[in-house]
Amino acid sequence: TQYHRTRVCLHPLTVRRQNFKQISAPTDGLDRLRSLLQLCVDRHYVSPGETNADLFQRGLSCSYGPLGMELRRNLLEQWWHSVTTGRARGQVFGISTLNISQVERAADGLRLVECDHIKQILDRQESKEEIIQEIKMLLERSPTVRTNLLTGALQQLVPLLELVNRKLPFGLAETGLCFQPSAGSGCSAEVTQTSLVWFCSPRTSSQWLDHWTRQRLKWWKKFALSPSDFSSSEVPEQELEGAASRGVRILYNFPWGSETLETLWSRGNAELLHVHKGARSKLQCRDGQKSVPHVVWISGNMDRGVMAFLSNSLQQLKREEGRQKLQQRKVLKLHPVLAPVKVALNIGRGGTMELRQVCGGLLQEFVEAKIFTWPGYLETVPTSAEQQIAKYDEMGVLFSVVISDTTLENGLVQVRSRDTTIRETMHISEIRKFLSRYISAAENI
């Protein structure tokens, strides 16, 4: 078993990449997509339904099942950790701004309207002009919903400038739901966005854009099975939005083409001045020249991020079985830190009350250590060990543990690794530590 232990304990990413190169085979893009969508529904990453699959595929928020919810949660947590903890660059503060805002201005954009109020106006016995007038006024009074997290952060800047004593650079981080107006299709949508608004001195903004591009690309690649699918590309001048003087996109190469996961903009300070009605003195910082800070804005779409990592980590293996059967096996090789389920607990031969109790104890131990555990031993439909493993591989479960009669005798359990497919024997008292170490080793690469 010493030999096995060593192999399982290999650097997690090394193992994953090795395997991938050895056995993955290119398949047709659309086939791959269909296969991925089916797996995501079957294994409770996304909820069933065509409309839902369509949202998911388009990189929008969809209805997630338990595994998809947990994957997005892990992804958001990693994002948060990575942008807020690198204090060497400057402090980053988390904020939470409002989704809806009450701005009375020409009725445009996406607004939250109470239909009953509009119907009341329409049902009144008034002239056409009066109705038009009243509806326009109602729309103006209705709150707008946010389409990004930038404006909210710019509005919150002043008290936080005091907090850092007007010292640059520093950043404001936020994650949350944003709405997206329909592009002609008539159907608005929602997206889980991440936003880091970085305030820096004017002369350094381009360097910071480069710095953050490197950081962010490194972050995406860190969790990838096939890192070369992630890339960055400068936004062409004619596609620069609004106040932006430079932009960079982080792209993922989906089977059907490249899509943007995250965008980095160097936006100057025009928007900041606009939000604060030109009150320069409130915004000036202590960088020698008392300048109004420039803004570098990094905005990500984490629903598309979920889709990218699922797509990136799906391995379809063709394997010849003993009896010459060609089997297709799918493995979701999600990064150990992102994988929703870290370990599954099962009962081998026997299935007695006693074994269940052992599983229950182990489950409690894992749960307290915040290791997401799948209680396979509670399942009541009988399946073969082989079928169960195939299911766990599709779910992306990192390890599966089998408790059997021998465990009661000598405390030994079987632990099977998703990435090496090797089964090793371990003492029951060692598993929690082993799992924690494995995951944190993968986190700190």
Distance CA 245, CA 267 (A): 6
Q: What is the closest distance, in whole angstroms, from the C-beta atom of residue 433 to its own copies in the complex? A: 16
Taking the complex as a whole, the smallest distance from the CB of residue 401 to its own copies amounts, in Å, to 16
Going across the sheet that includes 230-234, the strands are 92-94, 170-180, 189-200, 294-301, 257-266, 246-254, 230-234
Comparison of 156 and 400: residue with beta carbon closer to its own copies: 156
CA 252, distance to chain mean position in Å, is 14
Q: Which is nearer to its own copies, 33 or 107 (CB)?
A: 107
Considering beta carbons, is residue 7 or 167 the nearer one to its own copies?
Answer: 167
Q: What's the min distance (Å) between Cβ of 187 and its own copies? A: 7
Minimum distance from residue 336 beta carbon to its own copies (Å): 17
Cα–Cα distances (Å) from 335 to 87, 259, 310, 438, in that order, read: 25, 21, 10, 11
Nearer to its own copies, 160 or 240 (CB): 160
Smallest gap from residue 335 Cβ to its own copies (A): 19
Number of Cβ within a 10 Å radius of residue 425:
13
What is the distance between the alpha carbons of residues 298 and 68, in angstroms, rounded to a whole number?
Answer: 24
* Nearer to its own copies (CB atom), residue 74 or residue 312: 74
Nearer CB in complex with its own copies: 156/194: 156
Minimum CB separation of residue 369 from its own copies in Å reads 11
CB of 262 closer than 8 Å to CB of 233: no
Fill in the amino acid letter for 304. Answer: R
CA distance 169 to 184: 40
Three-state DSSP at 69 gives helix
